[in-house]
Amino acid sequence: MKRKILIIVFIGLLSLTSVVEARLRVLASYNYIADLVEKIGGDNVKVTPLAKGYKDPHYVTPRPSFIAKMRKADLLIINGGQLEIGWIPPILKKANNPRINPGNKGFLDLFSFIDGIDVPKEISRAHGDVHPDGNPHFHLDPENILIISGVIRDKLIDLDLSHKGIFTKRHKEFVEKWRKKMSEWEKALEKFSGKNVVQYHKNFDYFLKSFNMKQLGTLEPVPGIPPSTKHILEMIEVINNKGAEFIIHDVYHMKKPSRFVNRETGVKLVVLPHDVGSVDEAIDIVSLFDEIVRRLLK
């Protein structure tokens, strides 16, 4: 009798798995990806971001609830470039969902479509938290957003051919809007072209490159290693010699070292959002870039 009940309960639970949701269930490692999926997929996809926009993308706590989300997903889209190496692999393995395993149709690594910059010539952890394929924070170059929005459109069509028309149309609308925005941002930031900039972490390299700003260095001596007094003093000297327009800081690292350099050199300190949801104003990918530009001009 007991056994019969157990079997019935088990079959009941199993049948839950076959309740097919009509919409494509998409998981995105970061918020900016989720927003792009929503822009292209609209009501035909149900997209869930995993990481919180206001936290350090390198250190996402691998919550057990992520396993439940992965278990049910049709598509997992990651930033790639090893940004998720510390938190996605173990939960993906535990999710028992073959659809979204790397190499299968439901897994998409965006970085693999991008030409990475700062590809290290020498791979050694003596250089800190190195990413062998290059700097992974590629989405802050607006050109790269164009590339990956096309990649996401193709993937959505691949998984849900019946909405090909809608995905194509929404993508086209997004691209038109984005191009218009790009020329706005270019014009607004023109006056900083060729100017020197210092960053706390190598977060905004793609952005700086895209808007033709020069990077003098970072306050972190090597990626992922907090600033030492010696390195800070060296950077202050570099800034004093060469001059700089901004010290760029992100929303999640302690601001103390950047504030110190700001006081010592008088160079303006700007805290820039790096992802959708990292500050209140950045509600989507467009307002994220709007807000970065607004803060630089302020």
Partner 1 sequence: MKIVLYLIIVAIIFILPLTTLGSEGGSSDPFSQTKFVPAISFVMDVSYLRRNLELTGFEMPGFIHAGHSNGHAHSGSLLNGENGFNLNYAELNLFATVDPYFDLFTAFHLGEDHFEVEEAYVTTRKLPHGFGLKMGKFLSAFGRINAQHAHTWNFQELPLVYRVFFGEDGLNEKGFQLNWVAPTDFYLSLGFELFQGENSTSFGLEGTEIVNEDNGSEIEVEGARGPGLFTVYAKTSVDIGDLIILGGVSYAGGETRSIHETEDREHVLSGRSRISGLDITIKYLLDSYRYISLQTEYIDRQFEGEFYEAGSLEGSEFSRSQSGFYSELVYRFSKLWRTALRYDLLNRNNVLINGADSELPEDMKRYSFMIDYTPTEFSRIRLQYNNNRYLYLDGDLKTFSELNLQLNISIGAHGAHPF
Contact residues for partner 1 (CB under 8 A)? 13-14, 16-17, 55-56, 59, 61-65, 67-68, 71-72, 82, 85-87, 89-90, 93-98, 101, 125, 128-129, 224-226, 252
Rg of the chain, C-alpha, whole Å:
22
Q: How far is the CB of 111 from partner 1 (least distance, A)?
A: 16
- Of 102 and 243, the one with the shorter C-beta distance to partner 1 is 102
- Of 129 and 186, the one with the shorter C-beta distance to partner 1 is 129
Q: How far is the CB of 29 from partner 1 (least distance, A)?
A: 14
- Of 129 and 154, the one with the shorter C-beta distance to partner 1 is 129
Looking up tokens 């057990």, which residue turns up?
A: 64
Are 118 and 135 a contacting pair, CB within 8 Å? yes
Are 138 and 144 a contacting pair, CB within 8 Å? yes
- Of 44 and 101, the one with the shorter C-beta distance to partner 1 is 101
Give Cα 138 distance to the centre of its chain. 8
- Of 254 and 297, the one with the shorter C-beta distance to partner 1 is 254
Distance CA 54, CA 278 (A): 4
3-state DSSP helix/strand/coil % of the chain, to nearest 5: 50, 10, 40
Work out the burial of residue 96: count CB atoms within 10 Å of its CB; fewer than 13 is exposed, 13-18 middle, 19 or more buried: exposed
Q: How far is the CB of 115 from partner 1 (least distance, A)?
A: 22
Are 261 and 237 a contacting pair, CB within 8 Å? no
- Of 12 and 165, the one with the shorter C-beta distance to partner 1 is 12
Q: How far is the CB of 156 from partner 1 (least distance, A)?
A: 22
Q: How far is the CB of 98 from partner 1 (least distance, A)?
A: 5
Alpha-helical (H) ranges within the chain are 2-17, 31-41, 64-72, 88-94, 142-159, 164-189, 205-210, 229-242, 256-265, 285-297
Q: How far is the CB of 249 from partner 1 (least distance, A)?
A: 14
- Of 226 and 266, the one with the shorter C-beta distance to partner 1 is 226
Q: What angle do CA 281, 80, 207 make, to 5 degrees?
A: 45
Q: How far is the CB of 237 from partner 1 (least distance, A)?
A: 25
